[in-house]
Amino acid sequence: MLGGRYLKIGLILNLCTTLTLGHILNEDFHETLDLRPLPDGRLLSAFSFTTLLKEAIPRDPETLGSEDETQHYTLFPLALGQVLREYAVTELHMSLNAGKWDYDRWGYPEDPGVGTGAELWAYMGDSSAVSVDARWRGLRNALAGLFCASLGSLDDQRTTSPSLTFRPEGSFPQWTSASNHQLRHATLPSENVCTENLTPFLKLLPCKGLSGIASLLNPHRLFDSDWHGLSVHVRYLRDHGVEVRLNFQAVSDPVRYSVHGKRDWSLSSVFDRTIHSSCRVASSSMIRVARPTEKTAVVSPEPPSKSEDYAIFDLSDTATPLDISMQWQDESKFIYPLASSSSPLTPISVQRTLKGSIQSQGRLSVVITNHLPITIQTSYLETMPWLLQFYLHSLRTYHNGISRDDLVSIVSYTPPVPHLRPTLFQAVLTLPPKGTLHLSMDVMKPFLRYTEHPPDAERGWNLPPAVFVPLISNTTSSSKVASELNVADVDFRRLSRRIYTPVLLVDLATPDFSMPYNVIIMSCTLIALIFGSVFNLLTRKFVVVRVNQDSKPATRSPVPELKN
């Protein structure tokens, strides 16, 4: 009787707790690993950890002045969730990459944000309580603290709003009919990525890098790869909820590790680890191994399910410890393919260089090659810091040696303000079929103030990558495109992803940093000598003192006294 009464009270209390403490939401966690051998013997591994917070809506920025409703997470990362609610962020993309992504040899990455260094962009709703810029500053610093990166220095001198290139990947909640979202984007191309960035990344996962696919993330091997990058993507999907996707991509070189120069790889040879147990809270845990074009490659262990292009391993019903390996059994040593013999992996190729070595002369040159047999348009974005200013009137476009200024149409240009604001240049280029476009523009390199030079000033400044988005629509000549790219079927949406150029290094004139010390020493010396001489000239007088001959000589000093 007594126990029953307590049970009833307990149940009522439980119900009240559920009603009063805010929503308790359903969460879903999926993890995938895509392994794709590349034509030049390298291996692309793309880890993706997705947590979906069902029926959640990003915070309405108008409520920023008041207390937020309580959030309860079990799988969703708490540290990241708190940052998102604190600054009312609807969509967030952050990436930290190192290396140069070679589109010509490796094709498109799984995650399009491969610009070198740190890149952060976010969509935030307008608010009368706290401005978007104030929240952007808070967001940068909060993420800098969370990921041990110097994102706090992505200040106004690096922030722009390139909404034509960086379109939202999710949907926007309509809190009121007049709510409007703004984009803030900033890059820091000179940022390093190391274990201190991977440590908090792993701590955001439900299984924390101890089990499941995340246990393969070994920093000693990942940071030895030819290209690596980690990224965080948060977006709101209407009818689903808030989704957080944590990605890690790396391009490793098995030929370098192999004794005989073979491109055979396995999880233990690439990551130095195998998967010992699966993550219990994951709804799905899949490893997909893409088959290379040579059908002679053998995947072991035998995959439980396979399709034409992929071998799929589901960790929930695969024996552990799992060590997947791929071997080319009829190859004794890997021979690198010639660049000319392979079909292009992306619709366009871009090369960007900075010419002109002296301070007063500079030219930015961009060469874009269209691999497709049809005319396509591509958008071209430059977010250049004010250290390199464009002379826009000198923009020249050449195709086959003929000047074709009609192929460039400038959509928007926000001129830079020195020491305050970067350049935002957005244009649409029309590329003739199988043609190469040469763009060149004169640039100006300013003199920096003495205090603006970084500690290693002689190195120069890294310039952020330019971003191209091929605007390929669903045209009737999809067969021509497919045959050119040597694929069975063309996915136009996948072809229209962002392409980043490598970063540039610009050398600005550095002053002689020892000059202030030299000036002080020299002026002090001069002042001392001049003042001393003038003072002596003005006030010192030499006089002769007569010594009396009849007085006692013994007591007198033989040296005549000088009166001053």
Partner 1 sequence: MHLPVSLLSLCFLTLASLSAASQAAQDRATTFFTSNAQHSPSGSGHTNNWAVLVCTSRYWFNYRHMANALGMYRTVKRLGIPDSNIILMLSDDAACNTRNKFPGCVFASAGGKAGKDSSSLDLYGDNIEVDYRGYEVTVENFLRVLTGRVPPSLPRSKRLLTNDRSNIFIYMTGHGGNEFLKFQDDEEISAFDIADAFEQMWQKKRYNEILFMIDTCQANTMYSKFYSPNILATGSSELDEKSYSFENDNDLGIAVIDSFTHYVLQFMENINKTSQ
Contact 175, 62 (CB under 8 A): yes
- Binding letters toward partner 1, positions 511-530, x by CB under 8 A: --x-----------------
Size of the site for partner 1 (CB under 8 A): 30
Residue 158 engages partner 1 in binding (rule: CB under 8 A):
no
Quick one: 137 or 371, whose CB is closer to partner 1? 137
Residue 169 engages partner 1 in binding (rule: CB under 8 A):
no
**Residue 3 phi, psi dihedral angles, 5° rounding:** -65, -40
Binding partner 1 (rule: CB under 8 A), the pick from 55, 69, 196, 405 is 196
DSSP state of 541: -
Stretch that binds partner 1, among 6-14, 20-28, 135-143, 474-482 (CB under 8 A): 135-143
Contact 188, 151 (CB under 8 A): yes
Cβ 135 to partner 1 shortest distance, Å = 10
Cβ 191 to partner 1 shortest distance, Å = 8
Residue 184 engages partner 1 in binding (rule: CB under 8 A):
no
Stretch that binds partner 1, among 66-74, 216-224, 334-342, 522-530 (CB under 8 A): 216-224
Residue 266 engages partner 1 in binding (rule: CB under 8 A):
no
Binding partner 1 (rule: CB under 8 A), the pick from 18, 26, 74, 192 is 192
Residue 508 engages partner 1 in binding (rule: CB under 8 A):
no
E-assigned strands of 26-172? 27-37, 43-54, 89-98, 117-125, 159-160
DSSP state of 421: B
Residue 460 engages partner 1 in binding (rule: CB under 8 A):
no
Binding partner 1 (rule: CB under 8 A), the pick from 107, 173, 200, 292 is 200
Neighbouring C-beta atoms of residue 61, cutoff 10 Å: 24
Give the residue from 345, 270, 296 showing the smallest Cα distance to 40: 345
User: Site residues for partner 1, window 232-251 (CB under 8 A)?
Assistant: none
Cβ 338 to partner 1 shortest distance, Å = 28
Place of tokens 């991509």: 249
DSSP state of 42: -
Residue 86 engages partner 1 in binding (rule: CB under 8 A):
no
Query: If DSSP codes are grouped into helix, strand and coil, which group holds residue 170?
Result: coil
User: Site residues for partner 1, window 488-507 (CB under 8 A)?
Assistant: none
E-assigned strands of 226-339? 227-237, 241-252, 265-266, 284-290, 297-300, 305-306, 310-314, 325-328
Query: If DSSP codes are grouped into helix, strand and coil, which group holds residue 150?
Result: coil
Q: What is the spatial distance between Cα 108 and Cα 500, in angstroms, rounded to a whole number?
A: 10
DSSP state of 405: G
**Residue 34 phi, psi dihedral angles, 5° rounding:** -110, 125
Place of tokens 């790396």: 250
Quick one: 274 or 436, whose CB is closer to partner 1? 274
Binding partner 1 (rule: CB under 8 A), the pick from 199, 296, 400, 409 is 199
Buried b (16+ CB within 10 A) or exposed e, 130-165: bebeebbbebbebbbebbbbebebbeebbbbebbeb
Cβ 152 to partner 1 shortest distance, Å = 7
Cβ 199 to partner 1 shortest distance, Å = 5
Quick one: 98 or 366, whose CB is closer to partner 1? 98
Residue 144 engages partner 1 in binding (rule: CB under 8 A):
yes
Residue 138 engages partner 1 in binding (rule: CB under 8 A):
yes
Question: How far, in Å, are 111, 187, 307, 458 from residue 506 at the CA level?
Answer: 28, 16, 48, 10
Which ranges of 87-184 would DSSP assign to H, the alpha helix?
A: 103-106, 132-147
Quick one: 118 or 234, whose CB is closer to partner 1? 118
Residue 146 engages partner 1 in binding (rule: CB under 8 A):
yes
Stretch that binds partner 1, among 212-220, 246-254, 393-401, 538-546 (CB under 8 A): 212-220
Give the residue from 265, 270, 260, 266 showing the smallest Cα distance to 332: 260
Binding partner 1 (rule: CB under 8 A), the pick from 5, 19, 220, 559 is 220
Residue 150 engages partner 1 in binding (rule: CB under 8 A):
yes
Please report the sign of the dihedral spanned by the C-alpha atoms of residue 36, residue 38, residue 44, residue 48.
negative
Residue 193 engages partner 1 in binding (rule: CB under 8 A):
yes
Stretch that binds partner 1, among 4-12, 138-146, 264-272, 491-499 (CB under 8 A): 138-146
Neighbouring C-beta atoms of residue 508, cutoff 10 Å: 16
Quick one: 63 or 218, whose CB is closer to partner 1? 218
Contact 143, 389 (CB under 8 A): no
User: Site residues for partner 1, window 92-111 (CB under 8 A)?
Assistant: 98
Quick one: 175 or 223, whose CB is closer to partner 1? 223
Site for partner 1, rule CB under 8 A: 98, 137-138, 141-142, 144-146, 148, 150, 152-153, 191-196, 199-200, 218-220, 222-224, 454-456, 513
